[in-house]
Amino acid sequence: VDRYPFHGAHQAGIVTPAQDRLHFAAFDVTATTRAELVALLREWTAAAVQLTQGHTVGGGTPGAYEAPPPDTGEALGLPPSRLTLTFGFGPSLFRDAEGKDRFGIDGRRPRALRPLPHFPKDNLDPARSDGDLCVQACADDPQVAVHAIRNLSRLAFGTAALRWSQLGFGRTSSTSRTQQTPRNLFGFKDGTANLKAEETRLVDDHVWVGADDDPRARWLAGGSYLVARRINMNIETWDRTSLREQENLVGRDRSEGAPLSGGKEFNPPDFTVKGSDGKPLLAADSHVRLAHPSQNDGVRMLRRGYNFTDGNDALGRLDAGLFFVAYVRDPDTHYIPMQTRLAARDGLMEYLQHRGSALFAVPPGVRRGEYVGQALF
């Protein structure tokens, strides 16, 4: 396929096989009325239908010669490139810092939609965190993803302003069994044990919000929560670390991605296997062990992150890392406990710095004639 339908029971861009490129954008709503917010969501929905199907904003109408063109033009002639646009609502869309109900929707704010807590070693930059609205644009061509975010930002002019955005290249997860496991910038296969679209029972249990999960936010049923974390990697330090140490920190071997307890990439890790020194082959502080469902009340998450490199600092170190994106049914059970444990005990943390953070509620899919998030309003 070269394109995915925009309409459906769930938004595209979640279990959709992860595309190669990302442009993620968070917006602050500057308008003050619900009517203006709804008008923006209507416009965004109409544009998203056009863009994901490979059309221009405005559906190919050239517009008046004296006016700016309805579409910015840089994707003309490019294929749809499997573009998906996935929309989310942040906690601050519902209530401001003083607790004021901004658009008369705070009574329907999902219980779990609160700013994430401060985790050990967090070093967050507010300018790279939070936001009222988010759009995740994924495509196989970066120009197509950037074009989509640019045109949505343009439509938002006067209603919402871009707060922060992140480009990503090289997916760091597979979300379908049809995909090969990619590698992150530490050089390790990433996404081996990820939830896959084909595991529909597990996806129902761990990704989609259920009809009765949250009686005051029934509009979110069939949706999900999106956690975004901009995680910088100390690449130069990592590159001076021995292969043995690197593998012990991850808990898998670098070439195959197999668990250090033995077997091949897709064999489950065995935490009971010990080496000749009597110590477990999978160290207690290894990432794979601490993140494994057996250590986390059986929870799974659908990871959908991307590598990023945003130039370098004055000392010649790459500003690079992993833009972590995960979709979960409930961040209170499926993200916060695991992140707390990893931040405190994961050996990898010595090489990581969390610089950006955001949580969004992702409404269910859009039916023809509706706009995204309609049931909330």
> Could you list the residues that contact ligand HEM (CB under 6 A)?
184, 186, 188-194, 229, 231, 233, 250, 252, 287-288, 291-293, 301, 321-322, 324, 338-339, 342, 352
Q: For ligand HEM, which is the closer residue by CB, 122 or 213?
A: 122
Q: How far is CA 211 from CA 208, 245, 309, in A?
A: 9, 45, 39
Closest distance of CB 342 from ligand HEM, Å: 5
State the first-to-last Cα distance of the chain, in angstroms, to the nearest integer. 34
Closest distance of CB 210 from ligand HEM, Å: 21
Closest distance of CB 348 from ligand HEM, Å: 6
Closest distance of CB 157 from ligand HEM, Å: 34
What residues does 162 pair with on adjacent strands? 27
Q: For ligand HEM, which is the closer residue by CB, 163 or 229?
A: 229
Closest distance of CB 237 from ligand HEM, Å: 13
Give the chain's length. Answer: 377
Q: For ligand HEM, which is the closer residue by CB, 75 or 326?
A: 326
Q: For ligand HEM, which is the closer residue by CB, 25 or 338?
A: 338
Closest distance of CB 351 from ligand HEM, Å: 8
Q: For ligand HEM, which is the closer residue by CB, 17 or 54?
A: 17
Closest distance of CB 18 from ligand HEM, Å: 12
Q: For ligand HEM, which is the closer residue by CB, 158 or 293?
A: 293
Q: For ligand HEM, which is the closer residue by CB, 258 or 372?
A: 258
Closest distance of CB 217 from ligand HEM, Å: 23
Q: For ligand HEM, which is the closer residue by CB, 119 or 377?
A: 119
Q: How far is CA 316 from CA 22, 65, 123, 125, 326, in A?
A: 25, 47, 21, 21, 31
Closest distance of CB 180 from ligand HEM, Å: 13
Q: For ligand HEM, which is the closer residue by CB, 188 or 219?
A: 188
Q: What is the 3-state secondary structure (H, E, C) of the chain?
A: CCCCCCCCCCCCCCCCCCCCEEEEEEEEECCCCHHHHHHHHHHHHHHHHHHHCCCCCCCCCCCCCCCCCCCCCCCCCCCCCCCEEEEEECHHHHECCCCCECCCCHHHCCCCCCCCCCCCCCCCCHHHCCCCEEEEEEECCHHHHHHHHHHHHHHCCCCEEEEEEEEEEEECCCCCCCCCCCECCCCCECCCCCCCCCCHHHHHHHCCCCCCCCHHHHHHCCCEEEEEEEEEECHHHHCCCCHHHHHHHHCECCCCCCECCCCCCCCCCCCCCECCCCCECCCCCCHHHHHCHHHCCCCCCEECCEEEEEEECCCCCEEEEEEEEEEECCHHHHCHHHHHHHHHHCHHHHHEEEEEEEEEEECCCCCCCCCCCHHHC
What residues does 226 pair with on adjacent strands? 327, 360
Closest distance of CB 236 from ligand HEM, Å: 15
User: How far apart (Å, rounded) are the C-alpha atoms in residues 1 and 184?
Assistant: 26
